[in-house]
């Protein structure tokens, strides 16, 4: 990547504190600005057009629909009708052979993806790895070669106050560049309902259509992927968020390895930030880190000697102050390696190596999808194990049988994925085979006793 020298910018902004600011001394200094940087970086930012086709069931029914006389008039009236939705976003080319990163919310559900480069070349694309929780998707452009691309910067080196440029396609008006600074780091709690959000904050204006676009530094390296804004009006108010480049790097590595879904290391642990009151109760001088509140028996942290009440302050030398930061640091570390965890216990700090592993599928989940011989065909249940807990976000103490897919009938009755199935028709269930056996011999009424987010409920169905 060519790194343009921003001479005028350096003259204006990088003066010693004691010096006086001076005006540019030549026409060249006035004209230079960010132009060389944009000229080199912008060709690697693309527009993405995604099409989603959904089947929508017609809700209104006519009393004449079953009348033979009106049959031709109402043919196909209540059948599912396709509805086409189009979305517009941005993406960043990361390699000459057409690896592109964007947001999952731009392309994750797309049935057709078209990518247009800055020089108006068009490519068909497919998602080779996507993850809704992280809001990232990796695309492969078809028959692409020799494309301009951006290098990934180590986002842990980014500092508040650095200059940054946001490049994307806001509101579909065409490729647009906006400038600002890095205004915050390690922003959490902005995720899409899953708590995995960990962002770089910038005041460079970001608007709808910028999603998936590039946030770059003054060397033209990619700092992060623009993903969302904080706004009451829907427009940019100077608070935008980008997914750090280090997480993008791990996504690209897993995509190139052929992974079908993004694998993040499993902690098997619950915790909370250490605030002032909690720090005082733990005998800490200052509030820092994340205190462990619970551990699964199979957690690699539990096996490494961690216990409830321990405070984790760093992962591989990087500060951790919340569960979201912990998830991010472990995701960046990747699978298969050992990470150095800094633990604070009884006022003593210790560095402990913990293996980065996927949640084990032990004991086997043994998923079972009910068939037409049962009362609720399509309902899928599985035995709770660490892998199921991680995938469905269940409490670490969860056990027994859980619904992984309610299917069409149970879903209409209110059953949701993640519901723990306690009993069917008053009979306790301990395995997926129990569920099948009971529902295969049920009568006209069915009752499911469930545990949903710690709240017990009963749902009744009439066949």
Cα 326 to Cα 343: distance, rounded to the nearest angstrom: 13
DSSP, collapsed to helix, strand or coil, labels residue 430 as coil
Residue 311 predicted with pLDDT over 50? yes
Q: What is the pLDDT of residue 81?
A: 55
Using a CB cutoff of 8 Å and minimum separation of 24, what contacts does 412-416 make? 413/459, 413/461, 414/459, 415/379, 415/448, 415/450, 415/459, 416/452
Which fold is adopted by the domain 269-355?
Pdz3 Domain (2.30.42)
Specify the pLDDT at position 8: 39
* Beta-sheet strands, E only, within 174-268: 176-188, 198-202, 214-216, 222-229, 240-244
Positions marked active-site: 105, 135, 211
E-assigned strand segments in 94-162:
99-102, 112-116, 122-131, 136-141
pLDDT at residue 18 above 90?
no
Mean pLDDT of 217-233: 85
The band of 80, judged by pLDDT with boundaries at 50, 70 and 90, is low
Instruction: Using the CB atoms, write b or e for 323-357: b if 16+ within 10 Å.
Output: bbbbbbbbbbbbbeeebebbbbeeeeeeebebebb
Residue 15 has pLDDT above 70, yes or no: no
Tally of CA atoms within 13 A in the half-sphere of 185 that contains its CB: 14
**Cα–Cα distance for residue pair 79/408, rounded to 1 Å:** 16
Hey, where are the domains in the chain? Answer: 155-256, 269-355, 368-462
Rg of the Cα trace of the chain? 27
Q: Distance (Å, rounded) from C-alpha 463 to C-alpha 445?
A: 6
Q: Please name the residue ranges forming H helices in 289-341.
A: 300-303, 323-333
pLDDT-based confidence at residue 13 (cuts at 50, 70, 90): very low
Find the range with the poorest average confidence among 117-131, 175-189, 247-261: 175-189
The answer as to CATH 3.30.420.40 being correct for domain 155-256 is no
255-274: average pLDDT: 93
Nearest to 199 by CA among 333, 46, 324, 44: 324
Question: In this structure, are residues 112 and 125 in contact, taking their beta carbons and an 8 Å threshold?
Answer: no
Same fold, 269-355 and 368-462: yes
Distance CA 315, CA 370 (A): 43
Residue 329 confidence (pLDDT) above 90 = yes
CATH number belonging to domain 368-462: 2.30.42.10
Does 195 or 277 have the greater pLDDT score?
277
Q: Per-residue pLDDT averaged across 159-173, rounded?
A: 87
* Mean pLDDT, residues 56-67: 50
- Residue 17 in this model has a pLDDT that exceeds 60: no
Predicted local confidence at residue 267, as pLDDT: 95
pLDDT at 83: 56
Closest CA to 403 of 370, 442, 356: 370
Residue 459: pLDDT over 60: yes
What does the pLDDT average to over 378-398? 94
pLDDT at 12 exceeding the cut of 50: no
The pLDDT assigned to 5 comes to 42
Q: What's residue 375's pLDDT? A: 87
At residue 405 the predicted structure's pLDDT band, cuts being 50, 70 and 90, is: very high
For the ranges 10-24, 122-136, 403-417, which has the lowest average pLDDT? 10-24
């Amino acid at each position: 990547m060519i790194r343009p020298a921003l001479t005028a910018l350096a003259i204006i902004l990088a003066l010693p504190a004691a010096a006086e600011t001076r005006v540019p001394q030549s026409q060249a200094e006035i004209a230079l600005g960010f132009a060389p940087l944009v000229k080199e970086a912008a060709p690697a930012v693309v527009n993405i057009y995604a099409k989603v086709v959904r089947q929508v069931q017609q809700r209104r029914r006519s009393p004449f629909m079953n009348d033979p006389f009106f049959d031709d008039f109402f043919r196909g009236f209540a059948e599912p009708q396709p509805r086409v939705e189009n979305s517009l976003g941005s993406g960043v080319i990361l390699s000459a052979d057409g690896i592109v990163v964007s947001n999952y919310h731009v392309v994750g559900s797309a049935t057709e993806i078209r990518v247009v480069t800055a020089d108006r070349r068009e490519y068909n694309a497919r998602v080779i790895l996507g993850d809704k929780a992280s809001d990232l998707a990796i695309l492969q452009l078809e028959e692409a070669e020799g494309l301009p691309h951006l290098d990934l910067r180590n986002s842990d080196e980014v500092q508040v106050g650095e200059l940054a440029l946001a490049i994307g396609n806001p509101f579909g008006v065409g490729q647009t560049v906006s400038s600002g600074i890095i205004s915050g780091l390690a922003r959490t709690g902005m995720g899409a309902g899953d708590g995995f959000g960990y962002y770089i904050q910038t005041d460079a204006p970001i608007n709808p259509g910028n999603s998936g676009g590039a946030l770059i530094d003054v060397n033209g390296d990619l700092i992060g992927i623009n993903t969302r804004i904080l706004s009451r009006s829907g427009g940019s108010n100077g608070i935008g968020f980008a997914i750090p480049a280090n997480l993008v790097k791990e996504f690209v590595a897993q995509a190139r390895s052929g992974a079908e879904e993004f694998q993040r290391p499993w902690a098997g642990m619950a915790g909370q930030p250490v605030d002032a009151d909690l720090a005082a109760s733990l005998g800490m001088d200052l509030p820092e880190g994340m205190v462990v509140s619970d551990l699964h028996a199979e957690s690699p942290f539990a096996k490494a000697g961690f216990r409830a009440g321990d405070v984790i302050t760093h992962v591989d030398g990087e500060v951790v102050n919340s569960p979201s930061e912990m998830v991010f640091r472990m995701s960046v570390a990747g699978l298969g390696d050992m990470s150095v965890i800094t633990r604070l216990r009884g006022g003593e700090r210790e560095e402990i190596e913990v293996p980065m592993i996927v949640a084990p599928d032990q004991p086997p989940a043994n998923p079972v999808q009910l068939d037409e011989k049962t009362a609720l065909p399509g309902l899928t249940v599985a035995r709770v194990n660490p892998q199921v807990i991680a995938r469905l976000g269940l409490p670490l103490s969860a056990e027994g049988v859980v619904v992984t897919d309610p299917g069409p009938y149970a879903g209409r009755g209110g059953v949701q994925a993640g519901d723990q199935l306690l009993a069917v028709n008053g009979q306790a269930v301990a395995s997926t085979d129990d569920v099948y056996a009971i529902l295969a011999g049920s009568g006209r009424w069915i009752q499911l006793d469930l545990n949903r987010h710690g709240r017990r409920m009963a749902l009744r169905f009439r066949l």
